Amino acid sequence: MDAQSRGRADDIDPADQWVLNPQTGNYELRLDRSAGHSVGAPRSDGAPSRAGDRVGATRTATSRTGAPGRSDVPGQRTRRSARGAGAPGGADGGTHAGGPGRRKRKQRKSPKKKVLLWTGGTLALLMVCTVGAGYLYYEHLNSNITSISDDGAGTGGFSPDRAINILLIGTDKRTGEGNSGYGDKDSPGHADTTVLLHVSKDRGNATALSIPRDLITDIPNCETTQEDGSVKDIPGSQGVRFNVSLGQSGRTPSCTMRTVTKITGIQLDHFMVADFNAVKTLTSAVEGVPICLAKPVNDKESGLDLPEGEHVIEGEQALAFVRTRKSFGNSGDLDRIKVQQQFLSGLMRKLKSNDTLTSPTKLFKLAEAGTKALTVDNKISDIGRLRDLGLELGKFDMKNLSFTTVPVLDNPDEPVGRKATVVLNDSKAEELFSAIKNDVSLTEVEAQKKKAAKTKQDALLKGERAEASDVRVDVFNGGGPAGSAQRTLDWLQNSEGVLKSSNKGNAPTDVAATQLAYAPNQADQARKLADLMGLPASALKPGTEDAVGLEAMTLTLGPDFKGAGVPVSGPAKAPQVEKVTADKQVCAQ
């Protein structure tokens, strides 16, 4: 029997099983009526408790008398005592759980309460799942989670020392209770709404990039694991809508991942999939999402019927809002994307509010809804891994999260007046993809910080340049294409006159981007080599005075290296694209 069912059997409100430990600032699960032990404390027979195995080691609080095994965490309340006013020994009775007549200790503000903020910047659907992971270690949450193999399409896992890329996929598959009435109930579904969430390496900014479902693109060959465990090699398709990258021909989310990487050049770490039921249950779990309409809407197809102004929507009404297309803008999918981005912003603001983050009852509901509603890849299919991901993603501020859409043009191959699909606007799209890969923020707030840092970096490129013949450099391959070090050496020596250079083979460890390390007395050489190779100021890594004795600089070629003589420089500023930040409410038009 799980913790939830045991609590119900004793007439205990499940939300009241989570109590605030004033010594840690964290909510802890109380599975019995006593206040004698915190979660994870040893049993009287010396064996660790089951709850402790799930949560991990927890320091046992010590009572004011100093006796071990006692805790100042109040005991769980039954439904009756929780609701009765002034009941002796109850939650409202003013006495400590350790015995009648004792005054309840005033709770101290703990710096650990900052854990409440870690969900603040996470994209809406992802936030819902990880909020529950951070607070509610019910064993059955793991069994709620549905996972699908990523079939090697992802990196294999996120890490704290690099940027994170998550693919959020909304499918139009009509699974779940009450959804067959939307039509096409037997369809395997499509990638109806797709968002690539990129979080910068320093966690200072994030970009949510929407990919139009009607984008004409090529889908690569995809080896997928089917529901029965068999592996199927699905051939690629050329010149088709992006949305058929999921569901059609047996394609799984790993095929959508491969397609997005092919379009953007951005390597993805994980995916999450949400269906119609996810929208309904998640919005109900947060007790509604605030939205705004610039005009009244009565859409017969989606069922949305709301007057102009601000509203709070949940359940079927929320699903109708995100499905509405013909009542906004020019009735196309691009305008529906804007509406969906506004919806996600509203959901995040609701989740970030103290009213949500400090309520054990709401967090319990979110955990239940999130783990049941979302399908994730097999690399993040447990609560602990989701929690770790949420901790990383929650580090950026909402005002530094930008929503934007892949730049596109009307498909020139379609007749005028019947434009149903779009194609990439290559020049603008490549500029945007490059900015994302190089962690360039699309928000003004973060851009100002980046500008100040860049000014300091640019100073490294100011000053005298050495002659090419005086430049001494050792070349390593730290993640560039095979043979990059030798090709660069040949180019430097034969074309640029850098004769004092050598190929040192593979670097001890790979680097995230090409870098040039040098001693202070080699700054003129570094500037010259940066000019020759098109290195940005951010690639220059000056050493301390202790490095003055170095004989040669160290050039390590990273994955951004495209070839000898090809500039490595990334974009210096954010491209001019239509965007909206997550901290602002925009009315749908």
Map out the domains of the chain with their CATH numbers.
1-109 (no CATH), 117-446 (3.40.630.190), 463-557 (3.30.70.2390)
Q: Are 13 and 6 in contact (CB under 8 A)?
A: no
CA distance linking residue 407 with residue 300, whole number of Å: 30
Percent of the chain predicted with pLDDT > 70: 68
Count of CB atoms within 10 A of residue 517's CB?
Answer: 18
CA distance linking residue 299 with residue 314, whole number of Å: 17
Which residues is 240 bridged to in the sheet?
217
Tens digits of residue pLDDT in 478-520: 999 999 999 999 999 999 999 999 999 999 989 888 999 999 8
Q: Quick one: pLDDT band at residue 396, thresholds 50, 70, 90?
A: confident
Percent of the chain predicted with pLDDT > 90: 31
Count CA atoms closer than 13 A to 318's CA, side-chain side.
25
Which positions ≥6 away from 240 have C-beta within 8 Å? 216, 217, 218, 219
Least confident segment among 21-35, 80-94, 163-177, 437-451? 80-94
**Helix 333-352, helix 124-135: angle, nearest 10:** 20
Q: Of the spans 442-451, 537-546, 567-576, which averages the highest pLDDT?
A: 537-546
Q: To the nearest whole number, what is the mean pLDDT of the chain?
A: 75
Look up the pTM and report it: 0.60
* Tokens (6 digits) for 546: 């202790």
pLDDT of res. 465: 92
pLDDT of res. 176: 52
Helix (H) or strand (E) holding 225, with range, is strand 222-225
In the predicted structure, residue 290 carries a pLDDT above the cut 50: yes
Which positions ≥6 away from 472 have C-beta within 8 Å? 500, 501, 522, 525, 551, 552, 553
CA distance linking residue 362 with residue 346, whole number of Å: 17
Buried b (16+ CB within 10 A) or exposed e, 183-222: eeeeeebbbbbbbbbbbbeebbbbbbbbbbbbbbbebbeb
- CB burial of residue 4 (10 Å; 0-12, 13-18, 19+): middle
Which residues is 557 bridged to in the sheet?
477
- Alpha carbon 75 to chain centroid, angstroms: 36
Q: Of the spans 7-11, 75-79, 506-510, which averages the highest pLDDT?
A: 506-510
pLDDT of res. 538: 83
Q: Are 108 and 329 in contact (CB under 8 A)?
A: no
Q: Are 363 and 132 in contact (CB under 8 A)?
A: yes
pLDDT of res. 79: 38
Which positions ≥6 away from 313 have C-beta within 8 Å? 283, 288, 289, 291, 306, 321
CA distance linking residue 471 with residue 498, whole number of Å: 6
Q: Are 342 and 310 in contact (CB under 8 A)?
A: no
Q: Distance of CA 227 to CAs 179, 235, 266, 477, Å?
A: 22, 18, 28, 41
Nearest Cα neighbor of 171 from 252, 230, 108, 92 is 252
CA distance linking residue 454 with residue 452, whole number of Å: 5
Q: Are 550 and 519 in contact (CB under 8 A)?
A: yes
For the chain, report the end-to-end CA distance as a whole number of angstroms. 50
CA distance linking residue 424 with residue 414, whole number of Å: 15
pLDDT of res. 514: 92
- CB burial of residue 437 (10 Å; 0-12, 13-18, 19+): buried
Tens digits of residue pLDDT in 257-288: 999 999 999 999 999 998 888 888 888 888 89
SS3 letters across 468-534: HHHCEEEEEECCCCCCHHHHHHHHHHHHCCCCEEEEEEECCCCCCCCEEEECHHHHHHHHHHHHHHC
Nearest Cα neighbor of 209 from 123, 109, 90, 110 is 123
